């Protein structure tokens, strides 16, 4: 009987861990549309960020400038 309780406790622990990991992933910002080579997006604090897309995939981002 103790093995059933242990199994239940492990299962409950894993479910709680999965839920805690799912919360930050659900708040993730959507990726920009990479139809162009260079896209402008808003950063975490609302500042503009310039990103380069390669092959339709976001490659790198940096602060815009000259």
* 3-state secondary structure (DSSP) of residue 57: strand
Domains in the chain, number = 1
Beta carbons of 43 and 49 less than 8 angstroms apart: yes
pTM > 0.85: no
List the domain range (segments joined by +) for residue 48.
2-62
User: Could you tell me the maximum CA-CA distance found in the chain, to the nearest angstrom?
Assistant: 70
Per-residue model confidence as pLDDT tens for the chain (66 residues)? 689 999 999 999 999 988 887 776 655 566 677 888 888 888 878 889 898 998 888 888 888 876
């Amino acid at each position: 009987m103790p093995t059933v309780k242990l199994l239940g406790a492990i299962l409950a622990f894993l479910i709680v861990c999965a839920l805690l990991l799912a919360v930050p992933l659900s708040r993730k910002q959507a990726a920009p549309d990479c139809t162009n080579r260079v896209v402008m997006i808003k950063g975490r604090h609302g500042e503009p960020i310039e990103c380069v897309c390669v092959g339709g995939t976001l490659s790198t981002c940096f602060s815009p400038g000259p």
